[in-house]
Amino acid sequence: MLQVEGLRKTFATDRGGVRAVEDVSFSVEDGRFYTLLGPSGCGKTTTLRCLAGLERPEDGTIKLDDRMLSDPGNFVPTHARDIGMVFQSYAIWPHMTVFENVAFPLRVSEHAPSRDETRRMVAEALALVGLEGLEARPAPQLSGGQQQRLALARALVRKPKLLLLDEPLSNLDAKLRQRMRIELRELQRRLRITTVYVTHDQAEALFLSHRVAVMQNGRIVQEGRPRDLYASPASGFVADFVGDATFLPGEVVEGGVRALGGIVRCTLSEALAPGAKALLVMRPERIVVHGAPAGAANEFVGTLRVAAFLGDHLDCIVDVEGTELRARAHPTAELRREQRVWVELPPEYCLAIPDDGWRPRALTRTFDEDEG
């Protein structure tokens, strides 16, 4: 079991200290897949590097099973930690063959196995990731996907207690990324190796993880099972980061929130009492656009601004009382731009959370999110 308590890390820059990690605590049960999710600069990679011992935290403790890896007075260097790590760039050593890359962790260990044993363990690790038979290949001759597998084999060959993955899929093209996602999930479930994964891709996080921690400005702002994060985000930021959403600010009234020129019936989070300021969170895939009134509860009239065909549905933007809502319509619906439409907001999928002043960065959000 991995236990992290009160982790803190500050970087000195020209403009003074930057708090990269601020009081981060979490624990990962044995055999679990745990993901740190957040935008660039949120401190997720720094947290992972603290786990690896590549950064030395100023404060806090890191404990793996019964062994203290890091506390303010003592720091186990990276090479002495029982970990395996896959880097974003893969960090495949270009002057070695596939075999030499994977054998390296065995050869430098204090109890280096015999030659035969090394060969056996390397073959086993390569078989795990599907690279059998490529032992003699110089590493630079591998494709991007193969390098990624090689990095994984190298991280697993020592059978470490903890596997650390730093955005390992971000350098692959979309198709390959999907395939590797599945393989990685299956491999982790089969080996039951305790894993900490860092990514800015919410789909990856939801797909792979047992638990996800969403980070913002160096802190974990919410942690839980993927479905809980999606269904009950604690803040606008989390709702926005984990999946798509439309946000509407409004005042809490009995049974709903005043918005869209009326009252939107919705699920209120516990902290909200009538009169409080709230933020309505609505997932576009739950909002349905009709060409005629359907007589459903929570139905609003608006003007269709955009209707784009996406195969299994129409992606719509509807203007209701000056507010733009993202919604979906049936793929066969005959809708025209600027026509009157009726938007159905199912109350069970409208969630009102306390308004902390956060606002989304318009619809162009995805353009800014490319992680450096």
Partner 1 sequence: MATTTVARRAGIRFPAWRAEVVVVGAAAVLLSYLTLVPLAMLLLGSVSGGASVLDFQLTLRNFQRVLTDQASLELLANSLLYGAGAATLAFVIGTAVAWAVERTDVPGRSLWYGIALVPIIIPGIVHTIAWLFLLSPEIGWINAPLKAVFGVPLSIYSLPGMIWVEGLHTAPFAFVLMSAALRAMDPSLEEAAAASRANPWSTFRRITLPLLLPAIASVLLILFVRALEGFEVPAIIGLPGRIYVYTSRIYTSLNQYPPNFGLSAAYASVLLAISVVGLVLHNRATRRTERYTTVTGKAYRPRRVALGRYRYIAVAALGLYGAVAIVLPFLVLIYASLVRVYSVPSLDSFSELTLRNYAFIFTDELTRRSFVNSVVLGVLAASVVVALTSVIAWVTLRTRIPGRGLLDFLAFVPITIPGIVLGISLLWVYFTIPIRIYGTIWILLVAYVTRYLPYGIRATTAGLAQLHKELEEAAATAGARWWPTFQRVLLPLLRPTLVGAWVYVFIVSLRELGSSILLASSDNVVLAVRIFDLRDSGNYTTIAALSVILIIMLVALVAILQRVGGRTVREA
Q: If residue 208 lies in a helix (H) or strand (E), which one and from where to where?
A: helix 202-208
Applying CB under 8 A, among 87, 207, 349, 358 the residue interacting with partner 1 is: 87
Q: Would you count residue 61 as binding partner 1 (CB under 8 A)?
A: no
Residue 168 binds partner 1 (CB under 8 A):
no
Nearest residue (CB) to partner 1, 191 versus 221: 191
88 counts as binding partner 1 under rule CB under 8 A: yes
With contact defined as beta carbons under 8 Å apart, do 216 and 42 qualify?
yes
Which of 39, 43, 60, 84 touches partner 1 by CB under 8 A?
A: 84
Q: Does 93 bind partner 1 (CB under 8 A)?
A: yes
DSSP helix/strand/coil, 257: strand
By CB under 8 A, is residue 134 in contact with partner 1? no
Residue 256 host element (H or E): strand 256-259
Q: Which of 15, 95, 175, 190 touches partner 1 by CB under 8 A?
A: 95
Cα–Cα distance between 333 and 147 in angstroms, integer? 46
Using CB under 8 A as the binding rule, whether residue 211 contacts partner 1 is answered as no
Residue-wise DSSP of 54-70: SS--SEEEEEETTEEEE
- Least separation in angstroms between CB 156 and partner 1: 11
Applying CB under 8 A, does 67 fall inside the site for partner 1?
no
Q: Which listed residue (27, 40, 89, 339) binds partner 1 by CB under 8 A?
A: 89
Using DSSP's 3-state secondary structure scheme, residue 75 falls into strand
| Residue 7 CB coordination number (10 Å) | 25
Round to whole Å and give the CA distance between 188 and 128. Answer: 11
Residue 241, SS3?
A: helix
Task: Compute the C-alpha angle 102/134/178, nearest 5°.
Answer: 85
User: Interface with partner 1 includes 200 (CB under 8 A)?
Assistant: no
* Contact with partner 1 (CB under 8 A) among 30, 56, 225, 336: 56
Angle at 43 between CA 41 and CA 46, to 5 degrees: 115
Query: In 10 A of CB 29, how many CB atoms?
Result: 11
**Which of residues 54 and 301 has its CB atom nearest to partner 1 in the complex?**
54
79 binds partner 1 (CB under 8 A): yes
The amino acid that residue 188 corresponds to is Q
Contact window for partner 1 (CB under 8 A) among 79-87, 174-182, 221-229, 345-353: 79-87
Q: Which stretch binds partner 1 (CB under 8 A): 20-28, 69-77, 120-128, 348-356?
A: 69-77
Report the chain's C-alpha Rg in angstroms: 24
Site for partner 1 in 7-46 (CB under 8 A): 10, 12, 16-17
The verdict on 117 binding partner 1 (CB under 8 A) reads: no
Closest approach of partner 1 to the CB of residue 191, in Å: 18
Residue closest to 275 by CA, chosen among 263, 258, 300: 258
Minimum CB separation from partner 1 for residue 73, in Å?
8
User: 329-368 burial string, b = 16+ CB within 10 Å, else e?
Assistant: beeebebeeeeebbbbbeeebbbbbbbeeeebeeeeeeee
Member of 119, 137, 158, 181 binding partner 1 (CB under 8 A): 158
Binding site for partner 1 (CB under 8 A): 10, 12, 16-17, 52-54, 56, 58-59, 72-73, 77-81, 83-85, 87-89, 91, 93-95, 104-105, 108-109, 140, 151, 154-155, 158, 164
